A and B are shown apart, each in its own frame.
Chain A
Amino acid sequence: SQKIEQNSEALNIQEGKTATLTCNYTNYSPAYLQWYRQDPGRGPVFLLLIRENEKEKRKERLKVTFDTTLKQSLFHITASQPADSATYLCALDMRGGSYIPTFGRGTSLIVHP
């Protein structure tokens, strides 16, 4: 069966360090992979999209990598700040199937001052 796995344990890091979150998937052939941020009591907000033929995407302090061989995406936040504390969700679009993205359960990031 198709699975998207994100670390259920919260990631705790110190301010200024790089946070790295992982999204692994099985039995998918995603055309795209998206990352969203969700703050408590709010709806998810889109951050970045990376296509299957792209290895890396950057936006300000954010960087996403996409390894279709390893079936993994890494999401990096450099020079992290307490304001980056949130839950981060990955979502995959299926190629050749439904275009509706399927979401992972998310990983909570806590940045300590």
Chain B
Amino acid sequence: NAGVTQTPKFQVLKTGQSMTLQCAQDMNHNSMYWYRQDPGMGLRLIYYSASEGTTDKGEVPNGYNVSRLNKREFSLRLESAAPSQTSVYFCASSEWGVGDTIYFGEGSWLTVV
């Protein structure tokens, strides 16, 4: 039982390049999330998917797109990376939502130069 798996773990991008962060969960959870964590800023929600087939913007969605490919997988795409997107990205999932425990992946360290 792997929980929430994210790839890649580390990535260096040049400004303007695009990339996709992959996330999969094996807990049969309905809701999935993408957060970014920056020093002094805490965890901020980028996008979330309450259930398969739906996605919604979070607190900081600009510059990102997401796809809920199926119930297990939720990807985050940077179309044209900017240095401001240098951060640690966490994918997470929960069973339904209200009061549910959120299970996090191990994080993806992204540097945009």
Q: Interface residues, chain A, CB within 8 Å of chain B?
A: 8, 31-32, 34, 36, 41-46, 49, 51, 89, 91, 93, 99-106
Contact = CB atoms under 8 A, between A and B. Distances in A.
Tell me the dominant secondary structure on chain A's binding face.
Answer: strand
Contact of A43 (B40, B45, B97, B107): B107
B98 A99 contact: yes
Interface residues of B, number: 22
B9 to A, nearest CB: 10
A41 B42 CA distance: 14
Nearest to B58: A100
B99 A100 contact: no
A102 to B, nearest CB: 8
Given A46-B102, A105-B40, A100 B107 contact: no
Contacts of B104: 43-45
A89 B102 contact: no
Contacts of A101: 102
Contacts of A89: 42-43
B99 A44 contact: no
Contacts of A51: 99
6 nearest A-B residue pairs (beta carbon): A43-B104, A105-B42, A99-B97, A103-B43, A99-B98, A32-B99
A41 B43 contact: no
B83 to A, nearest CB: 22
Contacts of B101: 34, 46, 49
A45 B107 CA distance: 12
A92 to B, nearest CB: 11
Contact of B99 (A8, A36, A49, A103): A49
Contacts of B105: 43
A105 B37 CA distance: 9
A100 B99 CA distance: 9
Which of A36, A41, A44 has the largest number of chain B CB atoms within 10 A?
Answer: A44
B73 interface: no
Contacts of B97: 99-100
Given A44-B90, A99-B99, A104-B42, 6 more contacts: A31-B98, A34-B101, A43-B4, A99-B98, A100-B33, A103-B42
